Structure formats: structure tokens, C-alpha cells
Amino acid sequence: MMNEIKFGVFLPFYAFEAEKKETSPPFHRVRDIVLECERLGYDSVWLDDHLMFEKRPILECWTTLSALSTITSKIRLGSMVLCNGFRSPSVLAKMAATLDVISNGRLELGIGAGIQEDEHEAYGIPFPKARTRTALMKESVEIIKKMWTEEKANHRGRYYRISEAVCEPKPVQKPHPPITIGGGGEKFTLKVTAQHADRYDWGYVPTLERYKHKLNVLESHCKAVGRDFNEIEKSCWLGGQMFIVKDHKEIDKTVSQLKPDNVSLKDFSKLNFVATPDECRQEIQRYTRLGVTYFMLFFGDLPDLNSLRLFAEKVAVKMK
């Protein structure tokens, strides 16, 4: 139900990086955090989609989600967000339908136009200008929806073509798994969001006023394309990174430990949310008054589980 408050946990690849003495395989670290998220009652976990970042080890997003689908039973599994250029949309539609079947209807498909030029170039994947990348994403979502819902899908667009493409079995979720479109570009991306998204994701928007502005822009795009604005689930991030502490005595200590010497307290506070459970609930309520029902949580102390557990036990259970 759209009016139910839900909490998803964002798990970027660097949340699983091993300590110097850590010897467990990378997937085991992913597995342990995801299983803890499920135990704690979070609605979903979301993996990012990168192929490389310098020389750091990264598990490919879709393969990892597939493995996680077989060892979890309740938590929903999402991509925050898939880079459109990495995969053919018709093949992605088939992959996604398969994962939804394997997980018994727990897929959350997040997709975006892509922003990391260096990994595209390194892997030999074209990286056109932003407007073209957004147009490519739009066609991809159209193809994915057709293949999920039609007996034989056809598409003859500017960038992609499919002919009598069959995708069986269909996804378990009807009419199809929810699609989250990532990105806050107001001219192009939000127009695609208005046309095709079940939920939007703008990443972290630093002020409530800026968030309201983006809502107004999205609503205007919805009116232009004839879409009911209220059909799109409202989502937000509570901070670029979150650190949950038991009380105010711990806030100054935590900030002093986390803040780099060359970063001012003001700049650090712009991107990070260091707060007590009570302050978390107050911040959530500011956004629920705008109709927000989906909260993306990026705990900055991962793989340490302190914030993850404290939020679940002292915030989430009191907001549902």
C-alpha cells in the first residue's frame, strides 16, 4: 500500500569493504548485512550498480541480487540504480522477470541514465550526452514494460528495436514489478519519471524547500503528459549518509570522529545526518506531511551495524 511508511537500506559496494584483518569472502559480507536487514524488519535493500571504481573490488549488482534472492524470504531486493547503458533493455526485462519469479515477487527495479563516464569508457560502452542517455533510458523502460505485460512485444524506436519478443515466465508481481527512476534532472529525467515511474528517487536533496521545488516540477510534468501525480510514490533520503546515536552526548563525539580536518562542521552537516532516534522521527514526520511514504537510508557506519540496528529498534518500529 502506498500510504504505508516503508524503509529501504541502500548498500553501496564500499559498505562491504573488508577491514585489514577481515578474511571472509566479499559475498559473505553482503549476505550477512542483508540477512540482518531482513531480521530487523526493513522493507528492502538496494545495491548500487558499478563495474569498477579504481582498483577496488566490486560485485556485479544483478548477479549479487540473484544470489541474495535465494537466501532471503521476505525482504525486497532493489537496484539503486541500474545503469541503463550496461545492459540491453530486452535482455534486462528477461533477467528481471526471472529474478521476480525466483524471489517470489520481491524485485524492485531501479534504473537510471548513468553518470560514471570513466567506467563506460573502460568497458567500451558508449557514453553520449545526458539528454541522449535519458532518451535511451526512456525507451528502455518502455520496452521492459511491454515485455513484462504483452504476449509478444514490439518496439521500433530511435535507439532500440525488438520484434515479437517473448518474455516467459512473466514477473510474479502484477501488472509488473515497481519501477523506480533515479535522477533529479528537472528538464529531461523528471519528464520520464512522470511518464513511467512507480516511484522516483532523487538521491539526497539537502533542504525541505528544495525537495518541495522538485515535487512541483514533477507535478507539472505529470500534468503535461496526462499522468496522475498521486500515482507516483514519493521517496526521499534522510541524509547523504546517516549516523544514529543514542543521545545528544554522543553527537559531538561522533561528529568529531567522522569529520575530516579540512571539512567545516557546516559542510559536513549538509551531507550527513547525525541524529538521535527522536530527531530521526521528527525529520521523517516533516516529509510524511508532504505525502512521502518511502525512505531510503544510507547508514554511513556500515559495515558496522550500530546505526542500522538502532534505527530499526528505536525509529522504524514507532513509525509504522
The predicted-structure confidence for 43-102, as pLDDT tens digits, reads as follows 999 999 999 999 999 999 999 999 999 999 999 999 999 999 999 999 999 999 999 999
pLDDT score recorded for residue 261: 79
Hey, what's the cell of 202?
Answer: 532523487
Burial 256-288 (b: 16+ CB within 10 A, else e): eeebeeeeeeeeeeeebbbbbbebbeebbeebb
Is it the case that residue 124 has pLDDT exceeding 70? yes
**Residue 80 and residue 11: Cα distance in Å, rounded?**
9
Is it the case that residue 1 has pLDDT exceeding 60? no
The mean pLDDT of 146-153, rounded to a whole number, is 98
Phi, psi of 112 (to 5 degrees): -145, 175
- pTM (2 d.p.): 0.94
pLDDT score recorded for residue 198: 98
Who has greater pLDDT, 220 or 4? 220
Whether the Cβ atoms of residue 111 and residue 140 lie closer than 8 Å to each other: yes
Is it the case that residue 156 has pLDDT exceeding 70? yes
The per-residue pLDDT of the chain, averaged, comes to: 94
Is it the case that residue 310 has pLDDT exceeding 90? yes
> Mapping DSSP to helix (H, G, I), strand (E, B) and coil, where does residue 278 land?
helix
pLDDT score recorded for residue 3: 76
Instruction: Give per-residue pLDDT as tens, 221-279.
Output: 999 999 999 999 999 999 889 999 988 877 777 777 777 878 877 777 777 898 999 99
Is it the case that residue 119 has pLDDT exceeding 70? yes
SS3 content of the chain, % helix, strand, coil (to 5): 45, 15, 40
Sorted by where each starts, the structural domains of the chain and their CATH numbers stand as: 6-319 (3.20.20.30)
pLDDT score recorded for residue 23: 75
pLDDT score recorded for residue 228: 97
